Structure formats: C-alpha cells, structure tokens
C-alpha cells in the first residue's frame, strides 16, 4: 500500500465518495439505503463504491479518491477493524473510517483500529446518517475550496 496518497479529498466539490465494505451484500445495501444520495443538505451528493473483499478496499483507498470508508467489522475473512488499522497505519492522511461493530460493547475495538467512529449492528439509519455527516463535513469544506 502506498503512503503517498494525496492529502485532502480529491473528489469534486459536487460529490463525495464513500467506500462501503462488507462481504454481505445486504449490509452494503442497508448502509447505502440508510444514507441515501444526500444525508444532509449541507453536504454534496454521495457516490458509493461497494466492495466485498479486502484487496479491493486497499486498491480503492490507494486511489486517493475516497472521502470516507465504512467498513463492516463483522465481514469475513477480513474484518473491518483489522482493515481500518492497516489503512490508518499505511496511508498518509488516510480519510476518515467508520467501523460497523457487532454490538455496542465492541466500540473499544474500533478505537484500537484507529477508526474515527463506530456504529453497531443492527444499523440505526439515524445514528448512521448523523455519524457519517459529522465525518464528512470537514471533507466537504475542504472540497469546496
């Protein structure tokens, strides 16, 4: 994995790109449906990159075009928390990472992974949207410059 990723978001001001990783297509669908195209009027539209395997997560993150990564901590064989730690260790100025945990008590593991936030399964669309909006606001402000 490269450590020379460009600093700041590289997506256009018109859109923010969200990577959604899970081996379960239903989990990816739940995340995308919960957030929709525009989870808050202050943010530009979201574009999604759905990913089912760890190597594709790494490849997509290396492009420098991802503004937020949402990683399923319950995915197999590579869980989102381990991937989050790898991304944070290896990508210079890594974009924010949100980990979906198996239960609220697993939030401490997300802290270990250096993810900026954690949301437990079953997904609450309001909590997920509020968390994503908080993580994307700074990226949107940078992209608007």
pLDDT tens by residue, 72-114: 999 999 999 999 999 999 999 999 999 999 988 888 888 899 9
Task: Please state the length of the chain.
Answer: 145
Q: What is the mean pLDDT of the chain?
A: 90
Of 83, 77, 82, 74, residue with least CA distance to 19: 83
Q: Are 137 and 43 in contact (CB under 8 A)?
A: yes
The pTM score is 0.89
The answer to whether position 7 is within a domain reads no
- Whether residue 138 has pLDDT greater than 50: yes
3-class DSSP state of 17: strand
Residue 127's CATH number: 3.40.50.2300
Range of the domain at 59: 15-144
Residue 10 is assigned to a structural domain of this protein: no
Q: What is the pLDDT of residue 139?
A: 86
Q: How many domains does the chain have?
A: 1
């Amino acid at each position: 994995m490269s450590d020379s990723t460009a600093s700041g978001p590289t997506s256009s001001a018109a859109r923010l790109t969200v990577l959604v990783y899970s081996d379960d297509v239903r989990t990816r669908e739940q995340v995308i449906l919960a957030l929709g195209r525009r989870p808050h009027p202050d943010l530009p539209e979201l574009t999604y990159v759905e990913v089912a395997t760890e190597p594709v997560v790494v490849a997509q993150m290396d492009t420098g075009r991802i503004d937020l990564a949402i990683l399923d901590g319950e995915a197999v064989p590579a869980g989102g928390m381990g991937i989050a730690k790898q991304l944070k260790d290896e990508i210079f100025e890594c974009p924010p990472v949100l980990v979906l945990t198996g239960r609220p008590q697993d939030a401490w593991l997300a802290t270990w992974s250096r993810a900026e936030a954690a949301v437990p399964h079953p997904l609450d669309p309001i909590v997920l949207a509020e968390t994503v909006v908080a993580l994307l606001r700074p990226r949107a402000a940078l992209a608007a410059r």
